[in-house]
A and B are shown apart, each in its own frame.
Chain A
Amino acid sequence: MTAAHQATSESIHQTATIARTQLKVGLEIHVELATRTKMFTRVPNVAHPDYYDAEPNSLVDPVVAALPGVLPVMNRRAVEMAIMVGLALNCDIAEFSKWDRKNYFYPDLPKGYQISQYDLPLCGDGAIDIPTRDTATGDVGTRRIGIIRAHLEEDTGKLGHELPGGHHYAGSLVDLNRAGTPLLEIVTQPDFDSAESVVEFAKELRNICRFLGVTEGIMQKGHMRFEPNVNVIIETTDGHHFATPIVEVKNLNSFRSVRGAIEFEHKRQVEEWRKTGRVMGRGMKQTRGWDDVNLVTVLQREKEDAHDYRYFPDPDLVPVTVSAEWLESIRAQLPELPIQRKKRYMESYELPAKDAQKLVDERDTCFLFDAATKLSVMGTHGGGFGGEPKAGYAIAKLLLNNVAKRGNELGKEIGELGLSAAQIAELAVMKEKGTIGAQAVDPILAALATEAGASSESVAACAERLGLVQVRDDGQLDVWCDAAIVAQPQAADDVRNGKDAAIGRLVGHVMKLSGGKVDAKSVNERLRAKLGR
């Protein structure tokens, strides 16, 4: 239906009743790759953890400063990292791609052009499934997001108005530390219909990139920046559809601002249509910025005064050719991705989807889980579980219940507590073998993981120190059980007469006598035997 044509009556946008509005969002994401050196020269890269805190303009060489006569040389590792992301997003990897110059003047752009990829990107045509959560039921499903392309380019420097130490400066200052950092630009299809799904995707992408090791994904440092293209399909009660002009919101670097900007645009565009009736068309695209204080988007520029970037192939660089061998060697470096891990956890460990999802939501938690599971069935711990499936299940529960609880107390993610995989494995095995009781797990974790960080103490030593090791001496158990029966004759009679619930009082008595060092299950069994049940 050509609704826009039918609805030419001048005031329809003012008079029509809106039946529903539907968001339509596509996303551009910039990911700073954490290579050791920059995209086109060997000076260290500020996006690499070793150089996060480098002094302004300390990561600059003649190439970064665009001194006369210098030439760019491609960083192969950056291309490999970009291909890894491309493969993770199920993209086609181009056998042949090239570098182009995007020409414009700005003080943070030393060469007066940015080296980018214009018409032949490294990665094209992909898609990924992202987890979706039904907020009402908590059910976890998936949604497929198409990827149009992903290409490599170099980041710009930064402009500022403050001297180091936060002192005001009357002019503008340029810091070139970020200039030349490898930047992967990913462009999705307009497959999102809510701010929620965009944020889900953004989080999943960040997680994938962290699993791949191409970035630590620290949002405050600008490792990932998001630019949603937003418009709204308005459906009126008389069946007409109107598509509002597309707005690109620039440079969002938190999930909160992504959500805020999209939700704000949804509302603003409907109101704007009410006022002007303007619909999507040539030259209508706007660029807006997000005001994090007033929580509104602000007009930056209309498409009419858009730049002509005069793209042309960069004659200083040779095209990128990706041989089958190179591609395979990169593919071989790919770690198991979150969605694959989740599937494996559900199948091999019989974990519920919700738990499996929680494990893969955080890379460090996930790595801790996998390592602990492996350790728990190996060498010194061998035999604790009847094989890996049972171990996986038990360790998942230990992490998601007890360790997560300790994490909450300290305001940290599971992976941030500093506990080693060996400690987790040992704890799980000791609990499984009954060396410690279930009630001993939390106090042990509290002793091992503290505000100041994690102790390297072994779990066995810690349990010993805290006096939480179970007594396995049957003679001693007999003595405590007999004492309980003598001390609580009424309860003992009740059990003998079939009142099962009464055994709790006797068990409690034994636990008290033993100082918690016996396993409640064994106590229960022993008492029943003695009472003829």
Chain B
Amino acid sequence: MTTIAPDERVLHAARIASGNASAEESVRTTLARIADRNPKLNAYRETFDAHALAVAAALDRAPASAKAKPLAGLTIAVKDNIATTEGKTTCSSKILANYQSPYDATVVRRLRDAGAIMVGKTNLDEFAMGSSSENCAFGPVRNPHDTTRVPGGSSGGSAAAIADSLCDIALGSDTGGSIRQPAALCGAVGLKPTYGRVSRYGLVAFGSSLDQIGPLTRSVRDAAAVLQVIAGHDPLDSTSADTPVDDYLATLDQPIKGLRVGVPKEYVSEANDASVNAAVERAIDTYRSLGATIVDVDLPLTDLGISTYYVIAPAEASSNLARFDGIRYGYRAPLSRDEDLFDLYAKSRAEGFGAEVKRRIMIGTYVLSSGYYDAYYKRALQVRRLIKNEFDTAFQACDVLLGPTSPTPAFEIGKKSDPLSMYLCDVYTVNTNIAGICGISIPGGFATVGGSKLPVGLQLQAAAFAESTLLRAARMLERAYAGG
């Protein structure tokens, strides 16, 4: 079996904080690597070389007290649907191609305050709608393990960047799997925190009741360190929780005695790639060898997740994306003399949005329409409640749920041309968002497909605000796989 060695960048941050490493040198190395690799991967839409070097140099010169920050000097890649005052915030959409945010998202502010240095913005599926990072106004992102393949999505740029060491840490957003699935396909760690654990202020809304920002990293420790910084109540986001933030790092290396690992039988499906099921089997064996109890769990509503998700998320999106109307900012279509306000809206939006975004706006508008609301939107909310109840019951019997992140390893660019097959990529991840609980994808091995060695991800899920348990359980497996 292949061992996977985690790369714990927080150790590097500690060296920079103590003056034993140079942030500027670290930034230079990262920028050089980006310059070399990004033309092939298209992970970054833009980089902030001068800004990053200036911040790094200032950090190196700062007194020891000012350097003592948890993420000192770590380079960070930010998904381009998160508002930053540096550069543009495009959501990989033509409609925001030239949009510059006058404010930083709360997470960006917190990361800057923690010493992280923003090196650039990463590509995504337009407005985070997709599972392959092909729906991107600035070209598809490519998987560093095989550039003919997708990196997953929608946080494909962040996943490719973190997996290919084009940054120390990366931020993504996850509405139905958009952090975890690309992390799985690129061989990274991807954490989707509990809904409300991390402020959404500054995240360009897709499905507001499902969206969460989270880290993509090369180790569970880094994911814990980033969460430590970004978690907590934000007065600018009334859906962010008041629940106290645990000290994730303090307990990370303590294995959980008597850990109960639930394995839903619905997650080990014939429809999965054999390599995926094999990775889950190996994880079960490993946990067992670590003293954990394996619990059989039933989640019969798993299959309803995708259809529930594709009512709720587009409904919210259809409303969230109404602000892109060509009036105040963003793309405005040129009009002829005889065209009026309706044409301004219709043409700006028709020309500014890509096909997948328009498809979801239409679905969302439809399910909220008078006469259809009860049959679709209201019904979906009822199913959502049932799915949530199902998880609540499951978490009485186990501490974490184990399964695959994605049914398959990375697929070839252009391979999934019909929307439905693309939607099914998220079958194991959407329910985490629907239930509002937390989930993480960690590297679980490799599959050899057509001569390429492709990563396979494992997903762990835990109850709402049980990130501490989730991260410790993930760390147990990570350490075992690293041979530690």
Contact = CB atoms under 8 A, between A and B. Distances in A.
B209 A315 contact: yes
**Interface of B (DSSP majority class):** loop
A155 B318 CA distance: 22
Interface stretch (A68-76, A199-207, A406-414): A68-76
Contacts of B327: 107, 110, 174
A103 B322 CA distance: 8
Interface in B319-363: 319, 321-325, 327-329, 341, 345
Interface stretch (A6-14, A59-67, A88-96, A268-276): A59-67
Interface stretch (B37-45, B235-243, B449-457): B235-243
Contacts of A65: 328-329
A225 B305 CA distance: 46
A312 B203 CA distance: 21
Interface in A101-139: 101, 103, 105, 107, 110-113
Given A68-B89, A69-B82, A113-B322, A316 B328 contact: no
A310 interface: yes
Contact of B323 (A112, A174, A308, A317): A112
A301 to B, nearest CB: 15
Interface in A274-316: 308, 310-312, 315-316
Contacts of B370: 308, 310
Given A112-B319, A315-B208, A67 B239 contact: no
Contacts of B209: 315
A310 B323 contact: no
A69 B202 contact: yes
B200 interface: yes
Nearest to A99: B238
A54 interface: no
Given A68-B83, A110-B323, A174-B327, A315 B238 contact: no
Interface in A158-199: 174
A487 interface: no
A72 B323 CA distance: 14
A71 B200 contact: yes
B133 to A, nearest CB: 19
Contact of B235 (A72, A73, A113, A317): A73
B290 interface: no
A71 B201 contact: yes
A318 interface: yes
**Looking at chain A, what size class is its interface with the partner chain?**
20 to 34
Interface in B77-119: 82-83, 89, 91, 96, 99, 101-103, 105
User: From DSSP, what is the main secondary structure of chain A's interface residues?
Assistant: loop
Contacts of B129: none
Interface in B43-93: 82-83, 89, 91
B104 to A, nearest CB: 10
Contact of A318 (B83, B235, B238, B377): B238
B238 A105 contact: no
A154 to B, nearest CB: 14
A105 B368 CA distance: 16
A103 B315 CA distance: 11
Interface centre among A73, A74, A105 (most CB of B within 10 A): A105
A74 to B, nearest CB: 7
B239 A105 contact: no
A165 to B, nearest CB: 23
A103 B368 CA distance: 10
Contacts of A111: 322-323
Contact of A112 (B201, B322, B377): B322
Interface of B: 82-83, 89, 91, 96, 99, 101-103, 105, 200-205, 207-209, 235-239, 315-316, 318-319, 321-325, 327-329, 341, 345, 365, 368-370, 373, 377
26 contacts: A67-B101, A67-B102, A68-B96, A69-B82, A69-B101, A70-B201, A70-B202, A71-B200, A71-B239, A73-B235, A73-B238, A101-B319, A103-B318, A103-B322, A112-B321, A112-B322, A112-B325, A113-B319, A308-B370, A310-B318, A310-B319, A311-B368, A312-B368, A312-B373, A315-B207, A315-B208
